[in-house]
């Protein structure tokens, strides 16, 4: 009997199971390639039968590069997973990211939630569109441009200290990691504007709390998991405990959560004690707790979650944009000279103060063209902004995407459209934004680097303020050049991180 059982188990494990799996995959491949509702949508073979194609591209960190090539090969609609398609046609933006009947986000975003904070989802990770609308209405005023500009003095403190540190590098003629320092600047801006005090990156000249290293380790891992089937995510997440660098990063990320908890508790206490009104974000959010918390279900946990999200996503995304601006300027000396000349001209006229005010900097036409072009050609977020097709389905590029299937657009593909941006869309050319106001507005409608529809980034105003201010001050005070002839390296972890931006600075005579 025991022998019979042994033979049966052996037969099952060595014969029946492999045959069963082979038959299953054979039938699945036939179905996925011929009978599946998305079978007519072109794309790589492996993508049509498994999400592992997207996981592999995320692992390699090159999905936007590969997807641009595939769109060139296959056209505007691309099958990137068995149940998911991606469009690069700007004409589809209003349909996929409608403001009238918005499609719901997919569970891709859930991976980025702070699960250890028992709160409602923040505006980035919230999936339910109705819940998001209620939540956004509650907090959007906090992120308005008028509120951000009330904190402009706090940004000025970061700008002044950053320029001081850069003078040290210039005086020593020292090559340094400019890309890292740009990120330290954006983290300190988050600290100053959201928490009411700088974290200390610039003051101490190092990665405070290893926040940057932690985020750079955690984001590729989380992005890899976000592309996996939902049933596999728990197992993949658990593997982090067996990978020491990942475990270390997760611990450091948890320290960000602890900082958010501590600062929220301090803000709640201050709100009872302070006799003057503060304008930092944590104080404004705490005020919502006191004024509407009970009726709207907005508690200190929601405040903590907003703070955590600001640190995790707000600093890195702006640093990516700043690296892109300066990298493309350094690679295009003629463009750099035009920006220098424009800043010098308006400085001589007395238009630009010290440090420059955002409302003055944003009026510089060529600088604005440079900022737009850099953010167009290298958006911070370069993954598909996935949505579920509605119950009635949605027709894209003549193909009906059935209910529940995924449809999205990758800014790193859409913003290379030759139909919108011209035959040289793959080239960094700021002048395209100055050809006419009508053409500029036309191209503006195809920019989705800050999201689209009802889900535009609430941190956009702060990102633009800190970007314009530091860009003007650096270019007004310094000549900037790469310390080597090598290109930068990039890794797409949903947000595309750049490395090898090693620079030398030389003081300029302010005209």
Annotated binding-site residues read: 457
Rounded Cα gap, residues 382 and 448, in angstroms: 10
In this structure, how many other beta carbons lie within 10 angstroms of the beta carbon of residue 500? 15
Task: Report whether 283 contacts 194 (CB < 8 A).
Answer: no
Phi, psi of 212 (to 5 degrees): -65, -50
Q: Residue 48: CB partners within 8 Å, gap ≥ 6?
A: 32, 33, 36, 38, 39, 79, 82
Task: Report whether 75 contacts 54 (CB < 8 A).
Answer: no
326 burial type by CB count under 10 A (0-12 exposed, 13-18 middle, 19+ buried): buried
Task: Report whether 124 contacts 136 (CB < 8 A).
Answer: no
Question: Does residue 476 come out as left (phi exceeding 0), alpha (psi in the -120 to 50 range) or beta?
Answer: alpha
Annotated binding-site residues for heme read 457
DSSP reduced 3-state for 350? coil
Rounded Cα gap, residues 108 and 223, in angstroms: 9
Task: Report whether 377 contacts 328 (CB < 8 A).
Answer: yes
* Strand extents, DSSP E, 390-488: 394-396, 399-401, 406-408, 478-482
Rounded Cα gap, residues 329 and 321, in angstroms: 12
The enclosing H or E element of 498 equals strand 495-499
Rounded Cα gap, residues 170 and 165, in angstroms: 9
Task: Report whether 304 contacts 260 (CB < 8 A).
Answer: yes
Query: Residue 504, CB half-sphere, CA atoms under 13 Å: how many?
Result: 10
* Strand extents, DSSP E, 172-305: 176-177
Q: How many degrees, rounded to 5, is the angle at CA 497 between CA 107 and CA 506?
A: 155
Residue 228: both structure tokens together? 């996996």
402 burial type by CB count under 10 A (0-12 exposed, 13-18 middle, 19+ buried): middle
* DSSP calls for 108-176: GGGGGS-TTS-S---TTT---HHHHHHHHHHHGGGGSHHHHHHTHHHHHHHHHHHHHHHHHHHHTT--E
Residue 388's DSSP bridge partners are 406
Rounded Cα gap, residues 263 and 240, in angstroms: 28
Task: Report whether 253 contacts 245 (CB < 8 A).
Answer: no
């Amino acid at each position: 009997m025991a022998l019979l059982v042994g033979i049966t188990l052996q037969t099952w494990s060595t014969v029946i199971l492999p045959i069963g799996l082979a038959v299953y995959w054979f039938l699945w491949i036939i179905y996925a390639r011929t009978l599946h509702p998305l079978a007519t949508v072109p794309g790589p073979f492996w993508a049509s039968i498994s999400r592992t194609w997207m996981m592999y591209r995320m692992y390699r960190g090159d999905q936007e590069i590969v997807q641009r090539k595939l769109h060139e090969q296959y056209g505007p609609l691309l099958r990137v997973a068995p149940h998911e398609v991606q469009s690069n046609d700007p004409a589809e933006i209003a349909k996929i990211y409608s403001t009238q009947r918005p499609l719901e986000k997919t569970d891709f975003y859930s991976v980025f939630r702070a699960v250890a904070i028992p709160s409602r989802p923040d505006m980035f990770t919230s999936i339910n569109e109705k819940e998001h609308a209620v939540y956004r209405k509650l907090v959007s005023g906090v992120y308005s441009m008028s509120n951000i500009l009330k904190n402009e003095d706090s940004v000025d403190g970061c700008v002044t200290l950053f320029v001081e540190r850069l003078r040290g590098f210039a005086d020593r003629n020292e090559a340094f990691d400019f890309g890292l320092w740009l990120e330290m600047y954006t983290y300190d801006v988050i600290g100053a504007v959201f928490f009411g005090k700088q974290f200390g990156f610039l003051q101490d000249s190092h990665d405070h709390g290893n926040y940057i290293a932690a985020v750079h380790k955690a984001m590729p891992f989380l992005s890899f998991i976000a592309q996996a089937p939902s049933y596999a995510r728990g197992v993949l997440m658990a593997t982090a405990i067996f990978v020491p660098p990942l475990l270390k990063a997760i611990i450091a990320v948890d320290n960000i959560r602890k900082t958010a908890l501590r600062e929220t508790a301090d803000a709640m206490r201050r709100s009872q004690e302070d006799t003057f009104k503060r304008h930092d974000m944590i104080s404004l959010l705490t005020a919502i707790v006191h004024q509407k918390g009970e009726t709207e279900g907005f508690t200190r946990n929601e405040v903590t979650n907003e703070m955590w999200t600001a640190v995790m996503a707000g600093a890195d995304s702006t640093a990516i944009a700043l690296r892109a601006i300066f990298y493309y300027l350094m690679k295009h000396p003629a463009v750099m000279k035009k920006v220098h000349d424009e800043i010098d001209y308006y400085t001589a006229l007395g238009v630009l103060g010290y440090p420059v005010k955002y409302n003055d900097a944003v009026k510089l036409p060529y600088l604005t063209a440079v900022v737009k072009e850099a953010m167009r050609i290298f958006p911070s977020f370069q993954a598909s902004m996935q949505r579920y097709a509605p119950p009635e389905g949605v027709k894209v590029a003549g193909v009906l995407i059935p209910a529940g299937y995924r449809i999205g657009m990758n800014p790193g593909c859409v913003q290379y459209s030759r139909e919108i941006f011209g035959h040289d869309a793959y080239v960094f050319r700021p002048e395209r934004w100055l050809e006419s106001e009508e053409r500029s507005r036309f191209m503006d409608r195809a920019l989705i680097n800050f999201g689209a529809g009802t889900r535009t980034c609430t941190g956009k105003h702060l990102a633009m303020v800190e970007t314009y201010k530091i860009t003007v001050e650096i270019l007004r005070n310094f000549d900037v050049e790469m310390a080597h002839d090598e290109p930068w390296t990039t890794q797409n972890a949903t947000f595309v991180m750049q490395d090898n931006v090693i620079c030398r600075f030389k003081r300029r005579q302010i005209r």
